[in-house]
Amino acid sequence: ALKHMNPCGIGQADDIETAWDYAYESDPVSIFGGIVVLNREVDAATAEKMHGVFLEIIIAPSYTDEALAILTNKKKNLRILALPFDAQDASEVEAEYTGVVGGLLVQNQDMVKESPVDWQVVTKRQPTETEATALEFAWKAIKYVKSNGIIVTNDHMTLGVGPGQTNRVASVRIAIDQAKDRLDGAVLASDAFFPFADNVEEIAKAGIKAIIQPGGSVRDQESIEAADKHGLTMVFTGVRHFRH
């Protein structure tokens, strides 16, 4: 689910109905008037749940006839798009464009292929298996959050999103505040490095025990020491996702 070009809810599951449930439960307030993107065919059960929520746009590879009948019932302004995601590999599109007065801003797409085997645990404590799964999910999600971007997740859904702030600790506080009642077992991802250890202190104070971030700050060691002090595990990916 997207709102103003930022994800407000992301869910993954073995079936699309459950994935919708997770995405909706991530933030049922912000999804109002939002855009929902699904990567599997929309069935009647999922459509029935979406029909009860005010949405502007739904995008999916396909829809069953029953799903379309449900979604279009008394929904005159809802835009329903079928997009064949497998028609083109996104990595084939080399650049993305943003219009500005008098010209265009052009930048390469953030399509870096990553693998957890290339990541580095920089703290004394290693992530548990559950934490490692959640950290991988969080890292996949954070690249879509505008910088300074912070996201709090478990292994299947977002719990708090802190997008687009002018300092990183503000993004940390927003994401944690949004997830505050669901922090048991949660992990946190940052799209770029922590410039100061104050971010880690805020995270530890909230009770989050696992962090994933690119690393690369001249003060990385201060953040590592803060994480070790509080018994946190922290992973450096070596790749920055800095979305504007």
**What pLDDT digit, counting tens, does each position of 29-52 carry?**
999 999 999 999 999 999 999 999
Classify domain 116-236 at the CATH class level: alpha beta
Answer CATH for 2-87 from 3.20.20.10, 3.20.20.150, 2.115.10.20, 3.40.140.20: 3.40.140.20
Residue owning tokens 């790749």: 239
Phi-psi region of 83 (alpha: psi -120 to 50; beta: other; left: phi over 0): beta
Q: Which long-range contacts (CB under 8 A, 24 or more apart) does 116-121 make?
A: 118/237, 118/238, 119/212, 119/235, 119/236, 119/237, 119/238, 120/215, 120/235, 120/236, 120/238, 121/233, 121/234, 121/235
Domains of the chain by residue range: 2-87, 116-236
**Are 2-87 and 116-236 equal in CATH topology?**
yes
Output 114-117 pairs: Cβ under 8 A, ≥24 positions apart: 114/139, 114/237, 114/239
Looking at residue 39, its pLDDT comes to: 94
Which pLDDT tens digit goes with each residue over 138-162? Answer: 999 999 998 899 999 999 999 999 9
**Adjacent-strand bridge partners of 211:** 188, 234
User: Which pLDDT does position 93 carry in this prediction?
Assistant: 66
